[in-house]
Amino acid sequence: MLIFNTKNDLSSYLSSLTDPLIGFVPTMGALHDGHLALLRKAKKQCSLVVCSIFVNHTQFDSKEDFNSYPNTLSSDITKLEKINCDLLYVPDVSDLYAIDEKAKHFNFNGLDPQMEAKFRKGHFDGVATIIEKFFNIIKPHKAYFGQKDLQQLLVVKQLTKQLNLPIEIVSVPTIREENGLAMSSRNKLLSPKHLETASMLYKSLEFCKANKGNFSITDLKNRIKTQFSEQLEVDLEYLEFVNSNSLQTISVFKENGDNAICIAAFVGRVRLIDNIIF
């Protein structure tokens, strides 16, 4: 695997190749099987796979969250080599941002006033700013995003459309731990006890899906809120029942799909998100 630290070296290498089909997997590192699922899919579909590892400060609204973000670069490199990732781009912040450069402002047509956007101010402006930069440098044919970050996936689709970029956004289902907890780099910050407690996020989502015919959405929401309020060390931030394409709130489930339930909660000091689509 070739490793690049600067956009100039990366783009001049890419432009020296003849007709590669480029698949791109942006990550913030601390790689786990969820990231590897994206990379494996990219390897299957593309002739050249580029992974990036960059913890993008403009998408964080909390310094503590940014500063505590796990960094496991050497084991990330071993994992990437094992699955035959072709190129890794690990830039320094100065390669991507001018000093004091802020995130650009975007409008995502109704995808961005709720959930992650509401609770992490400016988050998607930061995400879109860095993804636009990456897309301009790497010019991928396909880019891979996890359904675990459903709102991000839809925002990136919208961004690609707005910028009129010829990039296919490929979504990959969520990979989970045995207890159902969605894999996440932030899980590395959880104690063994909290790792177990955190499985209640997905269990709640599964409960709602399994009981969609038995209770109204309001009742389901109230039941889950009660369960969370009874758990010390767990703080439910939101639980939203939405259309899985528009993210608009729903009050009844649709018969034939397009339903999503999205959740965010703190377990101890660690903020986790998850969703279920059905």
Select 35 or 48, whichever has its Cβ closest to ligand AMP.
Answer: 35
Letters for 139-158 (x = contact with ligand AMP by CB under 6 A, - = none) are ------xx-xx---------
Select 97 or 202, whichever has its Cβ closest to ligand AMP.
Answer: 202
Select 10 or 156, whichever has its Cβ closest to ligand AMP.
Answer: 156
The active-site residue out of 32, 35, 57, 194 is 35
Between CA 65 and CA 88 the distance in angstroms is 24
Between CA 123 and CA 126 the distance in angstroms is 5
Q: Dig out the tokens for 22 from the structure.
A: 């480029």
Q: How many residues bind ligand AMP (CB under 6 A)?
A: 17
164 to 193, contacts with ligand AMP by CB under 6 A?
172, 174-175, 182-185
25 to 44, contacts with ligand AMP by CB under 6 A?
27-28, 34-35, 37-38
Between CA 76 and CA 176 the distance in angstroms is 19
Select 223 or 245, whichever has its Cβ closest to ligand AMP.
Answer: 245
Q: Does 57 participate in catalysis according to the annotation?
A: no
As a 3-state breakdown, the chain gives helix, strand, coil percent values, each rounded to 5, of 40, 20, 35
The residues, ordered by sequence, that sit 6+ positions from 159 with a Cβ below 8 Å of its Cβ are: 106, 108, 128, 131, 132
Residue spans of beta strands (DSSP E) within the chain: 2-4, 22-27, 48-53, 87-89, 142-146, 168-172, 234-243, 259-267, 270-277
Letters for 194-213 (x = contact with ligand AMP by CB under 6 A, - = none) are --------------------
| Residues forming the active site | 35
Per CB under 6 A, residues contacting ligand AMP are: 27-28, 34-35, 37-38, 145-146, 148-149, 172, 174-175, 182-185
